Amino acid sequence: MTVRLTKDLRSPATGEPSPATGKDAVPAQPTDAPATGAVPAASGEAGEVRGRAARGGDELVRVTDLTKLFPVRRGTLVRRSTGAVRAVDGVGFAIDRGTTLGLVGESGSGKSTTGRLISRLLEPTSGSVVFDGRDISHLSTRELRPMRRDIQMIFQDPYSSLNPRHTIGAIVAAPLRIQKQTPRGGIRARVRELLELVGLNPEHYNRYPNEFSGGQRQRIGIARALATRPKLIIADEPVSALDVSIRAQIINLLDGLRTEFGLTYLFIAHDLSMVRHISDRVAVMYLGQIIELADRTDLFSGALHPYTHALLSAVPIPDPTSHHRRERIRLRDEVPSPLNPPVACRFHPRCWKAQEICRTEAPPLRERAPGHQVACHFPEKRDVV
Amino acid sequence: MTDPTHTAATASSGTPFLQVRDLTVSFHTDDGVVHAVDKLSFSVERGRTLGIVGESGSGKSVTSLAVMGLHRRGRRVSIAGEIRLDGEDLVTAPAERVRGLRGRRMAMIFQDPLSSMHPQFTVGDQIVEAYRVHNRVSKAAARRRATELLDLVGIPEPARRLDDYPHQFSGGMRQRAMIAMAVSCNPELLIADEPTTALDVTVQAQILDLMRELQKEFNSAIIIITHELGVVAEISHDILVMYAGQAMEYGGVEEVFASAEHPYTWGLLQSITRLDRQLETTLRTIPGSPPSLINVPPGCPFHPRCTYRERAGSATSTTRPPLAETSPGHLVACHLPVAERRRLLREEVIPTL
């Protein structure tokens, strides 16, 4: 197959943006796409290039003030809208070409909804999603179709995301048929190539999903996502349904594919150690908002938001001697309902640092260190792992 | 083949409250016999927690259901071996007897509290019912007890929440309510099957804290079944690593995490990502996938996936290795010579953890 090897985009850059990487990875990609101009100006010292700018600063996705409300209707005869779940509320971030953004948060934080808004499985209530220089926030189904080949999803449950009555050949070929793409050598050859690429036996083309284990099914899902040579892959909890020994195999596969094809990932997960392994940048969501966004190392060794501290300190560490020396932060109660989220800072009812200002004024997501944004009135570093 | 059971049952000293010996559970299906649990032995004392880890199909849940007497005996299920609860064998005991013990002296918490509670009865009704099965008290007294229990497990406004239906509770609260129901009769043995798998990390931490507190209060023996090594490290005293229905390694949790001697345990420890370690470029993996329990590989069931099988000699594919003591209280079922295992651990495994 036509393997286009690109440089490992995560390798520490030497100072200059490498415009070649994106171009090699994705053919027919105009390089004059919005480049570094959109990167929020960090108070970076001259000569020290770091973070996103260092990786090329070539944005593939930019999300601005993204909001999704789900109306709640009551009444049996006359259904009236009685309120709205603010599933995603004013979310903004960018993903550079060839990098991985990890999106973490607990259930109800809006991370999956954010993924679905970017892939346009859902239409945003307000705000915008710019993909590859084009605003796709409100495109119609027809307008979206050609774009769908560039954005693909990998789902959590490999049992329910594959049609049991289709052979895996048909499943992997489906995106090609829908997109009316005929690869050189024909669809069949391409499918066999894809199956081989994800570590499956291409001879198993005619088998059905029930003949495969969970890990193998997830590989089928990955092959399907790769069929149209997408630019962005949104992986929503891709390994949480898998066994421990299989998880690592799938993560390595995703990692390898990214390097090989210069893919860009939005990796949605609640497993923080897994997110740390695979992401370049990490966004932490709480009740529909991003509360902290930073490069991986900054987030995991220098988190500033108390909620991030609480999350990190709650991750069980597989070392029985660790809990004697580890600081333990226990949050009160549970995540409030997104139907009626707390005013001002949404975390304040559970926060041990909350002051008057946290109850009256919502903290904006502000850059506190180069490339490190946090939404808190009292950010501070704390060692919790 | 040597008999592993006699050493296996004594991973820790003292009189165990639960003692399982040579437990074998098989299911007879149209495709063949599923050897879900095969000659498994372990024990738990009061006030101690045993963590059972293993992947799906390793037999960990089947084991817990067997202890609770929840397998329907008959033509399709056969259970052999001994399950002694405070000395009394449950395998040979009549079903009515086991039913009397279940809920009173031993109780279970399931993974998904939404599907294990009845959706059409209030949480209070369900706790009251469970309590009154074993205690001859009035409804009002049982209700008072239920309020106490909800308060004990940390549900705010327990008297009001008693009349809520399960769907009105959040995931964490449902799990707390399940725990309240399970501890209503102060059971001496509590089995928790993946109690936190469906929960978020911050709620998981709260539930693990709660289980620890309850154990202090009731001095119960706890078995926690999980696939997460982090959870075991956090809450257990002992650990039992299962693979294909068999015990691979068994011992004190600090001992096993610091100096595991089974290649499968090494594989599990190596393949997880952890926050307390430097980042690696590629994760180590265990090649292949777990075997079908209808066709368990002969010899050591792990040998087809074992990196070190060449060094273990031909016995590894023909003879099942006994679960034998490698140091006091630490048992391993592996054909590799002990000295070789320790050398591998020191030279090849620990540097990668």
- Measure the CA angle with vertex A99, ends A98 and A102; round to 5°: 145
Check residue A46 and give its pLDDT: 35
Q: Give the closest-approach CA distance of B284 to chain A in angstroms.
A: 7
Q: Which residue in A82, A161, A11, A101 sits closest to A284, CA to CA?
A: A101
pLDDT higher than threshold 60 for residue A16: no
Instruction: Encode pLDDT of A214-255 as tens digits.
Output: 889 999 999 999 999 999 999 999 998 888 888 899 999 999
Cα separation, A209 vs A168, whole angstroms: 6
pLDDT higher than threshold 70 for residue A176: yes
- Chain A residue with the nearest C-alpha to that of B156: A333
pLDDT higher than threshold 70 for residue A32: no
Contact B283 A312 (CB under 8 A): no
> Considering only CB atoms, which chain B residues are within 8 Å of A335?
170, 200
Q: Which residue in B268, B243, B217 sits closest to B323, CA to CA?
A: B243
> Considering only CB atoms, which chain B residues are within 8 Å of A255?
282
Candidate from B201, B257, B267 with C-beta closest to A315: B201
The architecture of the domain spanning A59-70+83-150+230-374 is 3-Layer(aba) Sandwich (3.40)
**Confidence grade of residue A29 (pLDDT, cut at 50, 70, 90):** very low
> Considering only CB atoms, which chain A residues are within 8 Å of B260?
none
**Confidence grade of residue B113 (pLDDT, cut at 50, 70, 90):** low
Mean pLDDT of all residues in B46-74: 90
- Range of weakest confidence among A222-226, A328-332, B64-68, B136-140: A328-332
pLDDT higher than threshold 90 for residue B9: no
- Chain A residue with the nearest C-alpha to that of B283: A248
> Considering only CB atoms, which chain A residues are within 8 Å of B200?
106-107, 270, 335
Domain ranges of chain A: 59-70+83-150+230-374
Tell how far CA A333 is from the center of its chain: 27
Over chain A, what is the mean pLDDT?
Answer: 84
Percent of chain B's residues with pLDDT above 70? 96
**Confidence grade of residue B171 (pLDDT, cut at 50, 70, 90):** confident
pLDDT higher than threshold 60 for residue A51: no
Domain ranges of chain B: 5-105+185-352
Cα separation, B241 vs B264, whole angstroms: 9
- Range of weakest confidence among A137-151, A284-298, B164-178: B164-178
Candidate from A215, A314, A320 with C-beta closest to B289: A215
Q: Give the closest-approach CA distance of B233 to chain A in angstroms.
A: 4
Candidate from B205, B253, B283 with C-beta closest to A330: B205
Contact A311 B202 (CB under 8 A): yes
Mean pLDDT of all residues in A158-185: 91
Q: Give the closest-approach CA distance of A285 to chain B in angstroms.
A: 13
> Considering only CB atoms, which chain A residues are within 8 Å of B292?
none
- Chain A residue with the nearest C-alpha to that of B257: A319
Instruction: Encode pLDDT of B189-198 as tens digits.
Output: 999 998 888 7
Q: Where are the beta strands (DSSP E) in B227-304?
A: 238-243, 246-252
- Chain B residue with the nearest C-alpha to that of A249: B285
pLDDT higher than threshold 90 for residue A209: yes
pLDDT higher than threshold 90 for residue B112: no
Check residue A57 and give its pLDDT: 62
Cα separation, A230 vs A149, whole angstroms: 6
Question: CB neighbours (10 Å) of residue A245?
Answer: 24
Top-confidence residue, A338 or B108? B108
> Considering only CB atoms, which chain B residues are within 8 Å of A247?
271-272
Cα separation, A372 vs A42, whole angstroms: 9
> Considering only CB atoms, which chain A residues are within 8 Å of B173?
334
- Chain A residue with the nearest C-alpha to that of B229: A318
- Chain B residue with the nearest C-alpha to that of A316: B230
> Checking DSSP bridges between strand A232-236 and strand A151-154, what pairing results, if any?
parallel
Contact A322 B284 (CB under 8 A): no
**Confidence grade of residue B282 (pLDDT, cut at 50, 70, 90):** confident
**Confidence grade of residue B14 (pLDDT, cut at 50, 70, 90):** low
**Confidence grade of residue B278 (pLDDT, cut at 50, 70, 90):** confident
**Confidence grade of residue A48 (pLDDT, cut at 50, 70, 90):** very low
Q: Give the closest-approach CA distance of B24 to chain A in angstroms.
A: 24
pLDDT higher than threshold 90 for residue A263: yes
Cα separation, A190 vs B197, whole angstroms: 38
Mean pLDDT of all residues in B107-118: 82
**Confidence grade of residue A36 (pLDDT, cut at 50, 70, 90):** very low
**Confidence grade of residue A385 (pLDDT, cut at 50, 70, 90):** confident
List A96's β-bridge partners, or say none.
A59
Contact A245 B286 (CB under 8 A): yes
Check residue A49 and give its pLDDT: 36
Contact B289 A213 (CB under 8 A): yes
Retrieve residue A283's tokens: 């966004």
Over chain B, what is the mean pLDDT?
Answer: 89
Q: Which residue in A93, A69, A71 sits closest to A82, CA to CA?
A: A71
> Considering only CB atoms, which chain B residues are within 8 Å of A285?
none
Cα separation, B56 vs A242, whole angstroms: 9
Contact A312 B206 (CB under 8 A): no
Global pTM value: 0.84
- Give the 3-state DSSP-derived string for chain A, with helices as H, strands as E and coil as C: CCCCCCCCCCCCCCCCCCHHHHHHHCCCCCCCCCCHHHCCCCCCCCCCCCHHHHCCCCEEEEEEEEEEEEEEEECCCCCEEEEEEEEEEEEEEEEECCCEEEEECCCCCCHHHHHHHHCCCCCCCEEEEEECCEECCCCCHHHHHHHHCCEEEECCCCCCCCCCCCCHHHHHHHHHHHCCCCCCCHHHHHHHHHHHHCCCCHHHHHCCHHHCCHHHHHHHHHHHHHCCCCCEEEEECCCCCCCHHHHHHHHHHHHHHHHHHCCEEEEECCCHHHHHHHCCEEEEEECCEEEEEEEHHHHHHHCCCHHHHHHHHHCCCCCCCHHHHCCCCCCCCCCCCCCCCCCCCCCHHHCCCCCHHHHHCCCCCEEEECCEEECCCCCCCCCCC
Under an 8 Å CB criterion, which residues of A touch B? Answer: 106-107, 213-216, 243-249, 251-252, 255, 270-274, 276-277, 300, 310-323, 328, 330-331, 333-335, 385
- Does the interface ipTM go beyond 0.95? no
Instruction: Encode pLDDT of A317-326 as tens digits.
Output: 999 888 777 8
Cα separation, B39 vs B20, whole angstroms: 10
Tell how far CA A201 is from the center of its chain: 29
> Considering only CB atoms, which chain B residues are within 8 Å of A107?
171, 200
pLDDT higher than threshold 50 for residue A27: no
Candidate from A243, A247, A316 with C-beta closest to B233: A316
Contact B274 A273 (CB under 8 A): yes
State the burial class of residue A8 (Cβ atoms within 10 Å of its Cβ: 0-12, 13-18, 19+).
middle
> Considering only CB atoms, which chain B residues are within 8 Å of A272?
201, 275
Instruction: Encode pLDDT of B61-84 as tens digits.
Output: 899 999 999 888 777 899 999 999
Contact B233 A300 (CB under 8 A): no
Contact present, A248 and B271 (Cβ < 8 Å): yes
**Confidence grade of residue B10 (pLDDT, cut at 50, 70, 90):** very low
A144 φ/ψ angles, rounded to the nearest 5 degrees: -75, -30
Tell me how far CA of residue B130 lies from CA of B100, B127, B191, in angstroms. Answer: 12, 5, 16
Q: What is the CATH number of domain B5-105+185-352?
A: 3.40.50.300
Check residue B197 and give its pLDDT: 81
Check residue A331 and give its pLDDT: 86
